[in-house]
Amino acid sequence: MLKTDFGYMTITHILDFDELKRKRYNNFIVFYDNDLNVMKVSRPFKLSERNIEFITTFIEDGEDLLIGDTIMDEVPLLFRFNKQELLELVMCK
């Protein structure tokens, strides 16, 4: 959970199934106020094209968000996103 100017934010995922009934995880950024009430949830997004991925790290680094991702037994990856650009991309309009 990251502390922000407006409260907190986390990344979570929801298990879903694609048209072939394969498991697929969709990620969401969840925004909370200072009392930890949910304020807003982003649109679903994926960091890879694989069906199953797990977010392992979520760190703020200045103007960037670092998101760690692993896919089953593969080498974990660390993605660096400009915080403002990522939030604009995944937020519901």
How far apart are alpha carbons 9 and 12 in whole angstroms?
10
Considering the chain, what percentage of its residues have pLDDT values greater than 70? Answer: 90
* Model confidence at 74: pLDDT above 80: no
- What pLDDT, on a 0 to 100 scale, did the predictor assign at position 82? 84
Output the CA angle 13-14-20, nearest 5 degrees.
Answer: 125
Mean pLDDT for the chain overall: 81
Residue-level pLDDT at 77 = 79
Q: For residues 61 and 44, what is the distance between their CA atoms, to the nearest angstrom?
A: 23
Quote the CA–CA distance of 55 and 82 in Å, as a whole number.
17
Is residue 3 within 8 Å of residue 59, measured between CB atoms?
no
| Of 22, 1, 21, 25, the residue nearest 11 (C-alpha) | 1
Is the pLDDT at 6 greater than 80? The verdict is no
Model confidence, pTM:
0.70
When pLDDT is averaged across residues 44-49 and rounded to a whole number, the result is 77
Q: 51 vs 57, which has greater pLDDT?
A: 57
Amino acid symbol at 75: V
